[in-house]
Amino acid sequence: MSIEEKLATLSLGDESSLAATVKSDGIEKSGLAPSIEGLAAKCGSGDEKEALAGMALARSLASDCPEAQALTKLCLGPCLEQASSKSKSVREAASSTSLAICAGTNPFGVKSLLPVLFAALPVEKKWQIRELALRCVASLGETAPKQLGNALPEVVPEVTACMWDTKKQIKQAATAAMREALKVIGNKDIEHMTEKILIAISKPKEVPEIMHEMAGVTFVQSVESPALAMVVPLLLRGLREKQIATKRQSAVIINNMSKLVDNPIDAAPFLPLLLPALETNASSIADPEARGVTEKAVEQLNRLKGLADKAVNVRGDPTKLESEFKKHFAGDQQGLAACIGHAAVVATCMMDLQFMEDVQWKKNLSPFFGAYADDAACEAGIEAVRVEAEKMMEIPEEDDEEDDAEELCNCQFTLAYGTKILLHNTKMKLLRGKKYGLLGGNDSGKTTLMRSIANNSVEGFPDSSDVRTVFVEADIQGEQSHLSCIDYVFVDEKIQALGCTKEQVKEMLATVGFVPDGKAKPDHAVSTLSGGWRMKLALARAMLQKADILLLDEPTNHLDVINVAWVKKYINSLTNVTCIMVSHDSGLLNDCCTNILQIENLKLHPYKGNLDEFVKVKPSARSYFSFTESKMKFKFPQPGPIEGVKSKGKALMKMSKCTFTYPCNEKPTLFDISVQVSLSSRVACVGENGAGKSTMIKLLVGEIEPQVGDVWKHPNARIAYVAQHAFHHIESHLSKTPNEYIRWRYANDGEDKESLVKVTMQYTEEEKKLQSTPYQIQFVDEESGKITKVKKVVAELVGGRKTNKQKDYEYEVRYAGSTQDSGEYLPGKTLKKMGWDKGMKAVDMKIAQRAGLYVRPLSTKNVEQHLEDVGLDKEFGTHYRMSALSGGQKVKVVLAAAMWNQPHILILDEPTNYLDRDSLGALAGAIETYDGGVVIISHNNEFCSKLCPETWVMDAGHLETKGDAEWMLKQDTKIDDQQQLTEVTDAAGNVTKLKGQKKKLSKKEEKQMVKKLKAKIKNGEPLDSDEEEFAIDKDLI
């Protein structure tokens, strides 16, 4: 008797034999397929016996006949409805049968159950039906966790609505279902917050607190649709909160999470919900900072939307797969259509979860077709559909013409620096012999990527034993600076491991110009090398290591034109070596690169061709290399007035006939140099490597002393000097934040701690001897005119200074043997003879530096703003330690620190080395509007020619002045109005306007004023404050 006939008289106890029949004969032959609707009707029957018998059979089929699940699932709806039956036995059977059908369905097929479960959730349904449906949803977390995760975008909205139900049982069941759903989101970044997310859904008052916690989460893992499904309702609620802080935090979380969405299709369903809410906030939030954060999030979501619109949707489509199955499993049997429909849902889910192995498909799909084809045909049909499904998942990629080149690396990785994600789930493919230019803004992670490759810490990158990778950088470690050039290379661990001899090292150094009679000698200490020769030394060391991949960080830094041409020729000669280079030199990237790798939006984007070809495809990238395209703006503090200087052309610094020889050299480095710098100076100092440019500047600023000649600086002038190896200023303060460093450096009443450690401020033995020798000083008694001569020793300069009648400075001194400050002053000329020249300079410097502090107190807020003015975001300026900053960021810190006390002269030694084009453009703009003098040493012709009409050309220690050297005389404008202080800023950042200095009246104007005031006083008219001051001064009142 078939099941169809048996159903008419079905009773409890028949289920085991009928399930056995289906298992042995199959769903078609046993008659289950044509009679399934009858079984579903029995399950939903109002007759208790009939319903119990029907549900017993459905339960038995679900547990024992997985091949029948495509039909059995049709009984789920009627079973759910029976949850509200008056009979306790029916209710219990309904519960166990519904849960058995959910458990017995293939995990990949759970999506086919969801429409039935969701149909049982509306409030119109009886609460018992809704509660059972929610328990079924929760059970899927146990039986099909990954598959439930894949379905969360559909599940969450349905369950969330039930969590706010007034019925206690529904609320509890919905919370339990949501708790199970939260377990399967598969995102480690937020899984520790699942309980809090649950609370926030049911208790809206908790949303601000939860948002605050979520805003502090560092997102690292890829964000996929399950995580989005869970967080988006919470974010929407945050965006609609009244508190601006909560709205801002929601925008921050959206911005951070959306950057880590690898597949834009995952985000597509949520964008129509989030974008309108974000756009509303962006136009309505009153706080400008929070509005800016929201606008950034809108921009990021619009970018994601653009990607989602363009993306090829490779998600499984059940209708496409159904038509593929029909090609291989044809027939008009009643059950076949149901099996094909169910198989299509299962296969779709397998595609979405990347279960694409033939074994996996055979195991999960072949049971459905056993009744309609033999094993071989069944296997062949499923494999054919699987192959088609794989084709549907393929994303068309650009054809790579260089397939003949050997592939050195093809990996996918994530890269972080501290808590900051730099690259996320990005691909990198490198071919032998190619030259890759690595581009990206400052702080995008270019150097970190190269260091990680060199340190073998990039996931999936070939081991250094298979592919030899060498990182070339010109920085010399302090503990090795005493070594000779040969020893410096020879002691390197990698050179030692290769077993190179000193002779081989010497030969290699000779090929790059280190010869006994050359500018750089192989047996001299590396500390004596200029920046250009340090780079050549690093290249020589790399050449010895016979690299497969050469990583070059700014290889043309510090190099003159001749050496840049040499580097380009060398790179192009490496036909069998792959190079990755970071450079701000557009000429290098055009002449050497075959490919460009751009870091943008946490991804590495490959492009073919050199820089010009790349800019054609991506015009926005022009800002990396063009000053005029720079959107960044720097702002330097203006220098303020100098006592005694009324002309912008008056020299503030001078070198006169200076000759200098380094202690270890016989031949002078500089010969007979004379230069001067004023407020109007704009000087470019150029010359080839080792010509003596940096040495001359060190003499000018007082870091070293000439053996012959004089160096003079105006006592009231403040000088900012950013050295070529800029990081030496901060390398002993890396545990401080930039803000803390600047406040430490100027903490002592505005004195610059860095400026007091110069060699030129340390007393020589000769000077100490003069200071301890009694010197005859004559005093004149003002009343009697009597002259007294006394021999005295000055113990110290106390720090006071005044101007005498001859308009010369006198300095306050304390005499030896005196226990208190005498309040006595001695002329500068006398003190110079007593060996106190450097002491006077130190007093001058302190007074000049203190004058800079008046305008802007040293507060955290003021320093933060100052750092932002030179392009360092407050996030990095106040909250990051300097050890975590990139090279470009550190240069900004050094620049900001040098500019804090509003210098009159700014001296920059190779400022273009670590700054990208955006920052260089901003620096150029700041220099153009800066009222002080500027001296720049640089090989970057574009930068110098834009800013400097005067050029100092240094050639082998001899100086020649070119260009419009007399131009500063044309700038000889009077310093009256433009350098008066117009405002001061207090510690809280408040700006106060100052009155201008009073104009000095001529004798005629003075006479008229006296006449006018006499009349006013006579008539009893009130005087304003200025008139009253004038009247008192002239004894009129």
User: What is the predicted pLDDT for the residue at 981?
Assistant: 43
Provide long-range contacts, Cβ within 8 A and 24+ apart, for 384-387. Answer: 384/324, 384/327, 384/328, 385/321, 385/324, 385/325, 385/328, 385/347, 385/361, 386/347, 386/356, 386/358, 386/361
Give the confidence band of 758 by pLDDT, cuts at 50, 70, 90: low
User: What is the predicted pLDDT for the residue at 963?
Assistant: 59
User: What is the predicted pLDDT for the residue at 406?
Assistant: 81
Q: What is the pLDDT of residues 8-34, one digit of tens each?
A: 778 888 888 888 888 888 888 888 888
Q: What is the pLDDT of residues 956-994, one digit of tens each?
A: 788 887 655 444 344 434 333 334 444 545 444 555 554
Q: What is the DSSP letter of 406?
A: P
Residue 624 to residue 439: CA distance in whole angstroms: 8
User: What is the predicted pLDDT for the residue at 919?
Assistant: 76
Give the confidence band of 792 by pLDDT, cuts at 50, 70, 90: confident
Judged against a pLDDT cut of 50, whether residue 451 lies above it is answered with yes
User: What is the predicted pLDDT for the residue at 100?
Assistant: 93
Averaged pLDDT for residues 668-677: 87
Residue 361 to residue 354: CA distance in whole angstroms: 11
User: What is the predicted pLDDT for the residue at 630?
Assistant: 56
642: tokens are 């100098």
Give the confidence band of 583 by pLDDT, cuts at 50, 70, 90: confident
* Partners of residue 712 on adjacent β-strands: 654
Which are the contacts of 870, defined by CB distance < 8 A and separation ≥ 6? 634, 635, 636, 892, 895, 896, 899, 926
Which are the contacts of 663, defined by CB distance < 8 A and separation ≥ 6? none
User: What is the predicted pLDDT for the residue at 117?
Assistant: 93
Please report how the helices 48-64 and 32-43 are oriented relative to each other, as an axis angle in degrees rounded to 10. 130
Q: Is 410 helix (H, G, I), strand (E, B) or coil?
A: strand
Give the confidence band of 91 by pLDDT, cuts at 50, 70, 90: very high
Judged against a pLDDT cut of 70, whether residue 378 lies above it is answered with yes
Residue 53 to residue 133: CA distance in whole angstroms: 21
- Look at residues 968, 970, 965, 941 and name the one whose alpha carbon lies nearest to residue 952: 965
Dihedral angle over CA of 241, 245, 249, 255, nearest 10: 100
Output the average pLDDT for the chain.
80
Position with higher pLDDT, 782 vs 208: 208
User: What is the predicted pLDDT for the residue at 696?
Assistant: 87
Give the confidence band of 76 by pLDDT, cuts at 50, 70, 90: very high
Highest-confidence segment of 76-80, 321-325, 330-334, 764-768:
76-80
Give the confidence band of 118 by pLDDT, cuts at 50, 70, 90: very high
* Partners of residue 439 on adjacent β-strands: 598
Residue 155 to residue 165: CA distance in whole angstroms: 16
User: What is the predicted pLDDT for the residue at 820?
Assistant: 63
Q: In this prediction, what percent of the chain has a pLDDT beyond 90?
A: 9
Q: In this prediction, what percent of the chain has a pLDDT beyond 70?
A: 85
Terminal-residue alpha carbon distance, the chain: 133
Characterize the bridge pairing of strands 905-909 and 787-792. unpaired
